[in-house]
């Protein structure tokens, strides 16, 4: 199990809470219900990477996802690129929809292609 948290608020990783733009994750505390013993790895994701991945999935796959889903997808892509994961199946949970973000920067596409 791989956890995903904002680069700017890496609380699960042992860092300090901070402001970030990945809504839905990185609340600045570790909930009592979270069993950290089941987490094998934690990947921190920068705001820009979450946004760009969300935009790319909307453009190329037609997925209307939210910012935290962009972060989760970015982390899954990072895992998939590792040599030890070649040929393995990686399952990612996209935890939110993009409906509430349609009027935000997440869905304000530029004319340039998104590269990750």
38 and 51 Cβ atoms separated by less than 8 Å:
no
* Residue 107 pLDDT level (bands cut at 50, 70, 90): confident
Read off the pTM: 0.89
Q: Rounded mean pLDDT of the chain?
A: 92
Question: How far is the C-alpha of 19 from the C-alpha of 29, rounded, in Å?
Answer: 12
pLDDT in tens, 10-31: 999 999 999 999 999 999 999 9
Q: Please list the residues that pair with 3 across neighbouring strands.
A: 42
The tokens describing 69, both together, are: 């889903």
In this prediction, residues 64-68 reach a mean pLDDT of 95
Over residues 70-106, the pLDDT tens digits come to 999 999 999 999 999 999 999 999 999 998 888 887 8
For the chain, the domains span: 2-107
CATH architecture of 2-107: 3-Layer(aba) Sandwich (3.40)
Q: Can you give the pLDDT at residue 108?
A: 78
Tell which residue, 54, 47, 55, has the closest CA to residue 10: 47
């Amino acid at each position: 199990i791989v956890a995903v948290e904002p680069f700017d608020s890496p609380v699960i990783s042992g860092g300090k809470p901070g402001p970030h733009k990945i809504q839905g994750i990185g609340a600045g505390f570790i909930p009592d219900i979270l069993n950290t013993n089941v987490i094998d790895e934690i990947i921190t994701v920068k705001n820009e990477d979450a946004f760009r991945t969300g935009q790319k999935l909307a453009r190329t796959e037609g997925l209307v996802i939210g910012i935290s889903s962009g972060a989760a997808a970015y982390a899954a892509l990072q895992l998939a690129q590792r040599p030890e994961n070649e040929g393995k199946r990686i399952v990612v949970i996209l935890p939110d929809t993009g409906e509430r973000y349609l009027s935000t920067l997440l869905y304000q596409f530029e004319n340039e292609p998104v590269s990750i």
